[in-house]
Structure 1
Amino acid sequence: MMKKNLTFLLLLALCLNAGPQSLSLKKGWKFSIGDNAEWSSPTFDDKAWKNADLTKPWERQGYPNIDGYGWYRTRVVIPSSLKQKAYLKDTLVLYMADIDDNDEVFLNGQLIAKYGGRNGGMQERHYGKRMYKIPANHPAILWDKENVLAVRIFDTSGDGGLYGADFNLHMADIMEYVKYDTDGDFAYGEKNTLGKSIKLVAGNNYKFNGTISYKVTDPETGATIATKTEKASFTKGKPFEWWYTFVAAKKKSYRITYMFTDTKSAQKAISNETTPYILTPVVSNAPKINGADIFGVRPGHPVLYLVPATGRRPLTYKATGLPAGVKLDPSTGIITGSVEKAGNYELTLTVSNKVGKATKKFTLAIGDKIGLTPALGWNSWNAWGLSVDDEKTRVSAREMSQQLAAHGWSYINIDDGWEIDKRLASGKITTNKKFPDMKATTDYVHSLGLKMGIYSSPGPLTCGGYLGSWQHEDDDAQTYADWGIDYLKYDWCSYGEIAPRNPNLAELKKPYSVMGASLNKVNRDILYSFCQYGMGSVWQWGEEIGGNSWRTTGDIVDTWDSMAGIGFNQDKAAPYAGPGHFNDPDMLVVGKVGWGPNLHNSRLTFDEQYTHISLWSLLASPLLIGCDMGRLDRFTLGLLTNDEVIAINQDVLGKGARQHIKNDKYQVWVKELKGGNKAVGLFNMTDQYQTINLSKNDPALQGFTKFKDAWRQQNIVISGNALTAKVAPHGVLLVTVKK
């Protein structure tokens, strides 16, 4: 054992980084599904446990569809050299990313941390990264000896376990008490200038004095674009704020490196971010009608459709070919009423203002199918989590009405957290105090021409521990209809306690069939969204039991690994997408997100956000915004208001893109569009600029003569025999092609 430990310590020396030195914990883990208090003991024999891959949740390591408890264990020698070489010597830090969804951490059998430092219980949803601080003199730490680290996990639903990019032990460093607050928005000035205010915030009473600098570099060439250094002083409660500007000469993303150097300790705190660049052209003053070319409603059910149109206000709306029973408000563009007779009603929409007018052919499809194109809207979860309330919902509706509805966005969906803790005596569900009057909230949303969505679970409880619909499906469906709800997200959650441990296909279908039957009894169209994380290859049978969309994956977070790992693994589900039934790789993580109540700027780079929206549009996925709608910055607005990109998503064929080329450096995805056209995405999978060539004789391009950059809305002239693009790190060129 001594020889083994000495060898291990030698290897550790190669892993230690300067300031702070760290001990990697990425390898050597084992795990088991289940729960047993003995598993925390350092003497427990875990040889029979499965080797754990910390890059993957346990669902992708042989335990599909498993929620509930699991344990991870590893053995590690913690060298005293960590402490000896540290500037601060009083605290050992355990960093783990990510915990899905909650945890208790044991060191040599002693409980040292839990729940991410939050209040609550083990079975609550506390997904996220962990940074636990342990006093260096804690009796559980065995310096220079083998330690057993055991992590007890509880997974509420979807992906579960211990996984992510970084796991380490290190001594708390003086710079760990320094935080860069970079969540302010960039300001756009004249002559291509960008400006921003950042803050240096202290988490302790140490008086930091030193210098702050930034360096802007071009990731394509490596050239330094701008640099500046100033003096900086700050301490707890007294942050240092710094405003800077520089010239961003081209429409591309630059890299900014911030560095604070503390004079006394000589320690450095470094942070990086990238700069935004807006490709979406400025909206014209002339009228333009946007959105899908078709809208489906069932016979006799209420029609609510807002004609999405841009142009200088006020606009005047007209429609010819409207069937009996519906009318168009000429000042708002809202179509309301109901149509009893099934059929495709071909309308001509006209929008005019002082500048001119625009017309568009549009189909009002009265029949059995609804949701003929992917839903465009907002969902509260990725911003507010369980802190959603009536005010946040109304703000989101107002902002969508004012800034996004003209581009086709229409759904305002409340996720978990609206439900009361006990049903009424009648068996009906109602709202908690955060939503004083759901009917009034829905009426407000409808008055704007928008639609209202809600959330539940087939189990007794939702993921957040609120009331589910178990054995009250008819009651809840009727309540939703009475409130005027237009969309239901139905989340598996605690139904895992009702279903068998390894449910077969019939058992996976059952809860969704039951609620589907209840929804069919009400006199209202309620778009039906399955949230069951792709179990049982739901894309193969979701349409059969009435789903309008279905999650194909676990929950997304705002990292490249999460977004790319989900988005670029949708090819197997693509053939099952079509009008009225779409694959859903989860909600968008652009803008200010955080899962409530504290928000931050998306950790995706700006290039990665272009990839995110491009890929989801190609996949014909529902586009559900997950950010704070009350703080939509200029870049995020550009992402969400590009009508040519949205048109790819809303194409009437409803086809999901297929993976055409895949290699280590790039991928090409191709989506068939109406009229024999295509949309093609060229994605750079590396963190360096890549030149991607696609021959004109390639099947994706063969026979096509017209090429257009969808984001820039500009034609592309190809002089040679290939479409050639220099694509940014983790970026995209999104092209539409026509004959």
Structure 2
Amino acid sequence: MTKQNLAVFLLSFGILLLDKELVRAQNTVPDTLKKYILTPPPPETPKINGASIFGVRAGSAFLYTIPATGLRPMQFGAEKLPKGLNVDRASGRITGRVMERGEYKVTLTAKNALGESKRIFRIVVGDKIALTPPMGWNSWNCWGDAVSQDKVLSSAKAMVEKGLVNYGWQYINIDDGWQALRGGKYNAVQPNIKFPDMKGLSDEIHRMGLKIGIYSGPWVGTYAGHVGAYADNADGTYNWVKKGKHNEFYRFVDPEKKEKHGVNYHHGRYSFVKNDVQQWMDWGMDYLKYDWNPNDVYHVKEMMDALRSQNRDVVYSLSNSAPYGDATQWEKLANSWRTTGDIRDTWDRMCQLGFNQTKWAPFSGPGHWVDPDMLVVGMVGWGPKLHYTRLTANEQYTHISLWCLLSSPLLIGCDMAQLDAFTISLLTNNEVIDVNQDPLGKFGMAVAESGETVVYAKPLEDGSMAVGMFNRGKKTEKITVTWKMLGLRGQQTVRDLWRQKDVEQSEEGFASDVEQHGVRLIKIYPGNSRMQAISGK
């Protein structure tokens, strides 16, 4: 073993020991939260979950894992798959490539010893991907710059082992902190010693039926002080690196403490966007978070063109605080865009971000989603010291309900390996997820507001309506919705989505007491059903 390899081994071993000690020290999940669980456990009979529509570009690599709960072993099927696709009956993974454009109506099946579940699934081969909001995990809100290959792989394994993959969660995204210097086949950014085998990591995540994402930005340096997609010099070198202003992970550090890494928050003279994209394609990346402020059309389009030049579908997510004046551009150029600065696990910050998205409504829809930032449930901390979210149980229900009504990307920000029963219940309610993943892709809007209470409504594809009754105040309030307020006709059934049960039938409306900082998330059906709308009755 060389001296360099020995140093890497000892450093990695030290990081691993530190990680284990931090987990033991910070594992303070409140047991009392178990009593607030509303989501019923899934039945042992098969149930297919997740989105009912999937977009892919002709010729792109296809990977979709049929999300289904129920007793294992389970056998999967997919009837009338388009030419070029095959399903693995044991794992439910659909892979291959479709060359012919069009919309294909497929019947997914999941069967175990107790029964069988079927679901219509539309595969749309065209120009759009991300026809429903992306669902996955991102490393920043738990590990921050302390992210490592082991931590990412741990989260991927937890997504499978704790059952989230069975509800449509699929992306495992590496945020800032993976980068070293340029090099390799394309003179692209290479991973630092925390990521000894990026291709191997990507392959292993794909073998789990999941997808993987990467992080970059069009500055000379990223927010956390690592190498960006632009460089100071034509050969891809960086002046701050030449001056030795970095640590062993190639993060900007000034030994004299005269400068912070923000000194590199600017676009360099030389673009290496195409180089980096080629490297990501070789690794097999499926998602890109592209981060700087303010976002500008030139650099957004430059990256979009580079991604689209490759024969691989990559969800393209902009961050952060996208200027509203360019909203018509973001919906054309990106699959999602952050409308805000970073979220924190406080009631005030979550409300500030979540309840102020209405102006973006006209620009959100299938293929292009408004993003008020990641979810702050579970063990968070921005690395490496973690703590349990400071949001109360009520506030967490509000957080998830609002993000689903807004058709926001759902990106888990906690340490997946430490998911507790309450957090799992928040993230595995298939009826709540269905609100977010509805194929119509409408943006939930405030339809009534009084004092600290507000009612959001979101039309769904089948004619029904998802409604969130939010109490932002400090005392319990009675909130009422009427069918007239929502523009609904005739007798309606009210379904409590968190509890997954019908609670009332009415010809006029629904009322409920809602606790402080809480929500009542309901679905009203049949709504103005398709048949009713065209029959004149």
What range describes the TM-score normalised by the shorter chain of this pair?
Answer: 0.7 to 0.9
Over 3 Å counting, the alpha-carbon distance change for 1:476 and 1:422 in structure 2 is closer
The 3-state SS of whatever aligns with 1:586 is: coil
Over 3 Å counting, the alpha-carbon distance change for 1:705 and 1:516 in structure 2 is same
Asked if structure 1 preserves the Cα contact closer than 8 Å seen for 2:173 and 2:212, the reply is: yes
Residue of structure 2 in register with 1:184 after alignment: 28
Over 3 Å counting, the alpha-carbon distance change for 1:724 and 1:701 in structure 2 is farther
Residue of structure 2 in register with 1:633 after alignment: 420
Residue of structure 2 in register with 1:541 after alignment: 329
Asked if structure 2 preserves the Cα contact closer than 8 Å seen for 1:539 and 1:583, the reply is: no
**CA deviation profile, 1:106-147 (whole Å, cap 9, x unmatched):** xxxxxxxxxxxxxxxxxxxxxxxxxxxxxxxxxxxxxxxxxx
Residue of structure 2 in register with 1:487 after alignment: 287
Residue of structure 2 in register with 1:642 after alignment: 429
Residue of structure 2 in register with 1:466 after alignment: 226
Residue of structure 2 in register with 1:104 after alignment: none
- Residue 535 of structure 1 deviates from its aligned partner by 1.7
- Within a 5 Å distance, the mapping from 1:567-578 to structure 2 comes to 567-578=354-365
Which among 485, 496, 502 is matched to residue 715 of structure 1? 502
Asked if structure 2 preserves the Cα contact closer than 8 Å seen for 1:291 and 1:646, the reply is: yes
Residue of structure 1 in register with 2:314 after alignment: 526
**CA deviation profile, 1:402-429 (whole Å, cap 9, x unmatched):** 2200000000000000000455595221
Residue of structure 1 in register with 2:530 after alignment: none
The 3-state SS of whatever aligns with 2:123 is: strand
Residue of structure 1 in register with 2:262 after alignment: none
Which among 398, 406, 428 is matched to residue 611 of structure 1? 398
- Within a 5 Å distance, the mapping from 1:91-490 to structure 2 comes to 184-187=28-31, 194=32, 276-402=35-161, 403-423=163-183, 427-470=187-230, 471-490=271-290
TM-score by length of 1: 0.61
Residue of structure 1 in register with 2:533 after alignment: none
Residue of structure 1 in register with 2:234 after alignment: none
Over 3 Å counting, the alpha-carbon distance change for 1:284 and 1:537 in structure 2 is farther
Residue of structure 2 in register with 1:198 after alignment: none
**CA deviation profile, 1:277-332 (whole Å, cap 9, x unmatched):** 00101110000000101111111110000000000001100111012211100000
Residue of structure 2 in register with 1:694 after alignment: 481
- Residue 532 of structure 1 deviates from its aligned partner by 2.8
Asked if structure 2 preserves the Cα contact closer than 8 Å seen for 1:508 and 1:536, the reply is: no
> Percent of aligned pairs with the same residue?
47
Q: Distance in 1 between matches of 2:375 and 2:184?
A: 35
The 3-state SS of whatever aligns with 1:440 is: helix
Asked if structure 2 preserves the Cα contact closer than 8 Å seen for 1:549 and 1:581, the reply is: yes
Q: Distance in 2 between matches of 1:182 and 1:384?
A: 13
Residue of structure 2 in register with 1:591 after alignment: 378
Q: Distance in 2 between matches of 1:704 and 1:529?
A: 42
Asked if structure 2 preserves the Cα contact closer than 8 Å seen for 1:704 and 1:737, the reply is: no
- Residue 536 of structure 1 deviates from its aligned partner by 3.7
Over 3 Å counting, the alpha-carbon distance change for 1:573 and 1:536 in structure 2 is closer
Over 3 Å counting, the alpha-carbon distance change for 1:681 and 1:702 in structure 2 is farther
**CA deviation profile, 1:195-243 (whole Å, cap 9, x unmatched):** xxxxxxxxxxxxxxxxxxxxxxxxxxxxxxxxxxxxxxxxxxxxxxxxx
Paired amino acid for 2:166: A
The 3-state SS of whatever aligns with 1:352 is: strand
- Residue 662 of structure 1 deviates from its aligned partner by 2.2
Q: Distance in 2 between matches of 1:183 and 1:701?
A: 47
**CA deviation profile, 1:628-664 (whole Å, cap 9, x unmatched):** 0000000000000000000000000111101112232
The 3-state SS of whatever aligns with 2:117 is: strand
Over 3 Å counting, the alpha-carbon distance change for 1:628 and 1:578 in structure 2 is same
Paired amino acid for 2:29: D
- Residue 534 of structure 1 deviates from its aligned partner by 2.5
- Higher-helix-fraction structure: 2
- Residue 665 of structure 1 deviates from its aligned partner by 2.1
- Residue 182 of structure 1 deviates from its aligned partner by 9.1
Paired amino acid for 2:471: N
The 3-state SS of whatever aligns with 1:575 is: helix
Which among 716, 724, 732 is matched to residue 511 of structure 2? 724
- Residue 680 of structure 1 deviates from its aligned partner by 0.5
2:309 counterpart of 1:509: no
Asked if structure 1 preserves the Cα contact closer than 8 Å seen for 2:491 and 2:508, the reply is: no
Q: Distance in 1 between matches of 2:316 and 2:425?
A: 29
**CA deviation profile, 1:230-258 (whole Å, cap 9, x unmatched):** xxxxxxxxxxxxxxxxxxxxxxxxxxxxx
Asked if structure 2 preserves the Cα contact closer than 8 Å seen for 1:538 and 1:550, the reply is: no
- Residue 538 of structure 1 deviates from its aligned partner by 4.4
Give the stretch that moved more between structures: 567-576 or 633-642.
567-576
2:472 counterpart of 1:685: yes
Q: Distance in 1 between matches of 2:226 and 2:36?
A: 41
The 3-state SS of whatever aligns with 2:225 is: coil
Residue of structure 2 in register with 1:675 after alignment: 462
Asked if structure 2 preserves the Cα contact closer than 8 Å seen for 1:347 and 1:364, the reply is: yes
Q: Distance in 2 between matches of 1:559 and 1:704?
A: 40
Q: Distance in 2 between matches of 1:538 and 1:487?
A: 22
- Higher-strand-fraction structure: 1
**CA deviation profile, 1:183-203 (whole Å, cap 9, x unmatched):** 62344xxxxxx5xxxxxxxxx
TM-score by length of 2: 0.83
Q: Distance in 1 between matches of 2:385 and 2:466?
A: 37
Q: Distance in 2 between matches of 1:519 and 1:491?
A: 16
Q: Distance in 2 between matches of 1:356 and 1:536?
A: 50
Asked if structure 2 preserves the Cα contact closer than 8 Å seen for 1:275 and 1:606, the reply is: no
**CA deviation profile, 1:511-546 (whole Å, cap 9, x unmatched):** 1000111111111101100113122444332122x2
Which protein is bigger by CA-based radius of gyration? 1
Q: Distance in 1 between matches of 2:322 and 2:453?
A: 26
Residue of structure 1 in register with 2:257 after alignment: none
Asked if structure 1 preserves the Cα contact closer than 8 Å seen for 2:79 and 2:107, the reply is: yes
Q: Distance in 2 between matches of 1:599 and 1:295?
A: 35
The 3-state SS of whatever aligns with 1:675 is: coil
Q: Distance in 1 between matches of 2:35 and 2:373?
A: 24
Residue of structure 2 in register with 1:112 after alignment: none
Asked if structure 2 preserves the Cα contact closer than 8 Å seen for 1:683 and 1:730, the reply is: yes
The 3-state SS of whatever aligns with 2:192 is: coil
**CA deviation profile, 1:15-34 (whole Å, cap 9, x unmatched):** xxxxxxxxxxxxxxxxxxxx
Count of aligned residue pairs for this structure pair: 461
Asked if structure 1 preserves the Cα contact closer than 8 Å seen for 2:493 and 2:506, the reply is: no
**CA deviation profile, 1:532-584 (whole Å, cap 9, x unmatched):** 3122444332122x200001111100000000111000111112111111000
Residue of structure 2 in register with 1:214 after alignment: none
Residue of structure 2 in register with 1:221 after alignment: none
Asked if structure 2 preserves the Cα contact closer than 8 Å seen for 1:539 and 1:550, the reply is: no
Residue of structure 2 in register with 1:164 after alignment: none
Over 3 Å counting, the alpha-carbon distance change for 1:592 and 1:276 in structure 2 is farther
Paired amino acid for 2:273: E
